[in-house]
Structure 1
Amino acid sequence: MDLDSIECVSFSDGMDEDEIHLLHHHHSEFSSTKPRNGTTNHNNSVGPTVIAPATSVHELLECPVCTNSMYPPIHQCHNGHTLCSTCKTRVHNRCPTCRQELGDIRCLALEKVAESLELPCKYYSLGCPEISPYYSKLKHETVCNFRPYGCPYAGSECSVVGDIPFLVAHLRDDHKVDMHTGCTFNHRYVKSNPREVENATWMLTVFHCFGQYFCLHFEAFQLGMAPVYMAFLRFMGDENEARKYSYSLEVGGNGRKLMWEGMPRSVRDSHRNVRDSHDGLIIQRSIALFISGGDRKELKLRVTGRIWKEQQNPDARVCLPNLCS
Structure 2
Amino acid sequence: MSSTSSSNEPPSPTNSNGLNGQNGPVTFFVPANQRNTSKISAATHAASKLIERAMMVNSLPAGLAAPQQIPQTSTHAIVAAVINPAGQGILPLGSASSELLSAFECPVCLDYMLPPYLQCQAGHLVCGNCRPKVSACPTCRGPVPHIRNLGMEKIATNLQFPCKFAHSGCNQFFFHQEKVEHEEICEFRPYQCPCPGASCKWQGGLNDVMGHLMKLHKSITTLQGEDIVFLATDINLPGAVDWVMMQSCYNAYFMLVLEKQDKQEQGGTSYQMFYAVVQLIGTKKEAENFVYKLELSNNRRRLFWEASPRSIHEGVAAAIAQSDCLAFDTSHANFFAENGNLGINVTIQRVDGGMSLNR
Q: TM-score, length-normalised on structure 1?
A: 0.67
CA distance in 2, matches of 1:275, 1:136: 29
2:221 pairs with 175, 178, 184, which one? 178
Unaligned runs of 5+ in 2: 1-35, 48-81, 266-270, 354-359
Secondary structure, counterpart of 1:78 in structure 2: coil
Secondary structure, counterpart of 1:273 in structure 2: helix
Report how far residue 48 of structure 1 moved.
Answer: 4.0
**Which residue does the alignment assign to 1:305?**
346
Residue type at the aligned position of 1:266: R
Change (3 A) 1:113 1:49: farther
RMSD after superposition: 3.8
**Which residue does the alignment assign to 1:82?**
125
The answer to whether residue 275 in structure 2 is matched with residue 230 in structure 1 is: yes
Alignment of 1:228-307 (within 5 A): 228-252=273-297, 255=299, 257-267=301-311, 268-292=313-337, 299-307=340-348
Q: Is the 1:164–1:237 Cα contact (8 Å) retained in structure 2?
A: yes
Change (3 A) 1:216 1:81: closer
Unaligned runs of 5+ in 1: 1-13, 23-39, 313-325
2:39 pairs with 1, 4, 17, which one? 17
**Which residue does the alignment assign to 1:5?**
none
Change (3 A) 1:139 1:189: closer
Report how far residue 235 of structure 1 moved.
Answer: 2.4
Q: Is the 1:51–1:120 Cα contact (8 Å) retained in structure 2?
A: no
**Which residue does the alignment assign to 1:155?**
197
Q: Is the 2:137–2:145 Cα contact (8 Å) retained in structure 1?
A: no
Change (3 A) 1:171 1:113: same
Which structure carries more strand by proportion?
1
1:72 pairs with 111, 115, 119, which one? 115
Q: Is the 2:254–2:278 Cα contact (8 Å) retained in structure 1?
A: yes
**Which residue does the alignment assign to 1:191?**
234
**Which residue does the alignment assign to 1:323?**
none
Secondary structure, counterpart of 2:94 in structure 1: coil
Secondary structure, counterpart of 2:115 in structure 1: coil
**Which residue does the alignment assign to 1:25?**
none
CA distance in 2, matches of 1:203, 1:210: 23
CA distance in 2, matches of 1:215, 1:82: 44
Which structure carries more helix by proportion?
2
Q: TM-score, length-normalised on structure 2?
A: 0.62
**Which residue does the alignment assign to 1:117?**
159
Report how far residue 220 of structure 1 moved.
Answer: 0.5
Change (3 A) 1:133 1:187: closer
Change (3 A) 1:222 1:211: same
2:248 pairs with 188, 205, 208, which one? 208
Q: Is the 1:245–1:307 Cα contact (8 Å) retained in structure 2?
A: yes
Q: Deviations over 1:16-59 (max 9, x none)?
A: 4136499xxxxxxxxxxxxxxxxx976399x7453434664344
Secondary structure, counterpart of 1:191 in structure 2: coil
CA distance in 2, matches of 1:86, 1:211: 39
Q: Deviations over 1:152-190 (max 9, x none)?
A: 212134454445442112112112221222223234323
The answer to whether residue 173 in structure 2 is matched with residue 131 in structure 1 is: yes
